[in-house]
Amino acid sequence: MKIAIITPIGLLLFFAATLSAQSDRAQPPLALVGGTLIDLSKSGRSTNDIPNAVVILRGGKIEAAGPAALVKIPRDTKTLDYAGTYILPGLIDGFGGLNSQAQANAWLYMGVTTIVGLQDDRRGKLKLDAHPSPHIYPLDGAGFIDEDSLLFSLPQWRNKIKKGEDFADLNEQETKAQIEELAGRGTRVIWLGHDLTAAKTKFIIAECHRFGLITYGEFNATPYSDAISDGIDVLLHMSRYELGLIPSRLQEPLLRDPEGAALGPAYAYLRQLDPADPSIAAYAKQISSSRVALMPTLSLSYLQLPDHRNLWKEPAASILDPKGLHQPSDPVTGEVNTKYATGDQRHLTTNDDAHFFSINQALQVAHPLNLAGTGSPAFSTMPGISLHTELELLVRSGLTPRETLAAATSNYSEHFGWHELGLVEAGRRADILILASDPTIDISNTRKIRSVILEGAILDRNALLNAPR
């Protein structure tokens, strides 16, 4: 018999899930009738939408979904008319923070029902007790320990940091134990960082996959070609994974100096790289022929790219406290706030974003798998709101609207094996977004939200805007 060990965080999540399940059982089943069910399978390449669909929700799950002619509505079901609307899964942000109830409400108001959540000095501590809240799939690093680790509260891990230091590198045995403990505590994603050697990267990827954990890579010292060959699941941040384009003569110094002066020549090389350079096509082919996905987090560059808008004009922004955001934009103009330093520790200038975006567009020609993630609330991004800017920028990168929608829904299910979410079909979690206009025609229609459903319960979006800061 396998005995489950419930940690304090796990106990909190257990009670939350129990209360949610009790609430669901008290609710009558729902039938969403008349809307068009958007097909987002096969990474957005399938187009078998179902007009006049019926979706049955019971006990927080989707009981049935399909054409009205084939789905029988049980007698005890409450029927809701959604004729003329468009039904798709709740949106997923694969890289974000949540440090207040107001931020939780903003995520939900914008139709984001699941986030891969992290905590750090830019995004604050991860608030796991928000209610209501999107589902939080925790992310943590491996191979080191610092105060932002989800294990930092445990003395046996905190004490590995020597007095006067901010973090501690872990040896192979310690890293193995760390990954096992994180997996046991419900962590879903492991971040592999800048100074990891190629050998340690390979070891961590293998250990994570042994426990069913997803790996995000953001490398300096490890060559990207090595990480891809070793099975990294996600390459994070366009301004980071484009380092995979630098020649070996610039990569070798990063092995010795991953966070220092060696980054300068590496980024100088990228600044002068023509988006039509054959090396980009070769790198794109390597990515698309592997099992790795790109998570470009384009929203981190949103305000440096043309045709951006003032995100403070969004209704959800009215409940966000600028103090809970990292380098918030100017609330009057919506532009980068000049009182904050422009440097972001990437050795970039404010003029680099458009160039790196054009390189990312060139990578998209090979049709790699993409995942939507924003990095909110860092560098002027906003919870929930910025996922919609991410969708807009993915379309500008070259994806179709349907492929872009898949990047925020079904790609997580198909690439990660997270089969509880990502599609509207029987057996999945009843997290659903209902739109007033067709998002496959115009991606901005994702902001025309009619209803957000979380575990089978229709959220009161107006009430979400009344949250205290």
DSSP result, 379-441: TT--TTHHHHHHHHHHHHHT--HHHHHHHTTHHHHHHH--TTSSS-STTSB--EEEESS-TTT
The Cα–Cα gap between 169 and 153 comes to 17
Q: For 275-328, how does the pLDDT look when each residue is reduced to its tens digit (9 = 90+)?
A: 999 999 999 999 999 999 999 999 999 999 999 999 999 999 999 999 999 999
The Cα–Cα gap between 139 and 117 comes to 6
Question: Cβ distance 424 to 89 under 8 Å?
Answer: yes
Torsion 95-99-103-108 (CA) sign = positive
Question: Which tokens is 184 given?
Answer: 């046991």
Question: Which tokens is 422 given?
Answer: 């990502």
**Of 267, 212, 217, 259, nearest in space to 95 by CA:** 217
* Residue the block writes with tokens 């694969």: 94
* Residue the block writes with tokens 């990207």: 224
* Residue the block writes with tokens 């919506």: 334
The Cα–Cα gap between 468 and 463 comes to 11
Rg (CA), the chain: 22
**Of 217, 207, 215, nearest in space to 181 by CA:** 207
Domains of the chain listed by start with CATH number: 8-89+423-458 (2.30.40.10), 91-416 (3.20.20.140)
Tell me the β-bridge partners of 58. Answer: 61
The CA distances from residue 377 to 104, 125, 136, 282, 368, in Å, are 12, 12, 15, 34, 26
The Cα–Cα gap between 4 and 345 comes to 41
The Cα–Cα gap between 417 and 413 comes to 5
Torsion 153-157-159-161 (CA) sign = negative
- Give the model's pLDDT for residue 468: 63
The Cα–Cα gap between 353 and 301 comes to 6
Spell out, as residue ranges, where the chain has pLDDT lower than 50: 1-25, 344-346
The CA distances from residue 121 to 113, 317, 363, in Å, are 24, 21, 31
Where would I find the beta strands (DSSP E) of 261-390?
293-295, 369-370
The Cα–Cα gap between 181 and 39 comes to 38
- Give the model's pLDDT for residue 99: 98
Burial class (CB in 10 A: 0-12, 13-18, 19+), 275: middle
Q: Residue 278, preceding bond cis, omega within 30 degrees? A: no
| DSSP helix/strand/coil, 79 | strand
The Cα–Cα gap between 223 and 244 comes to 7
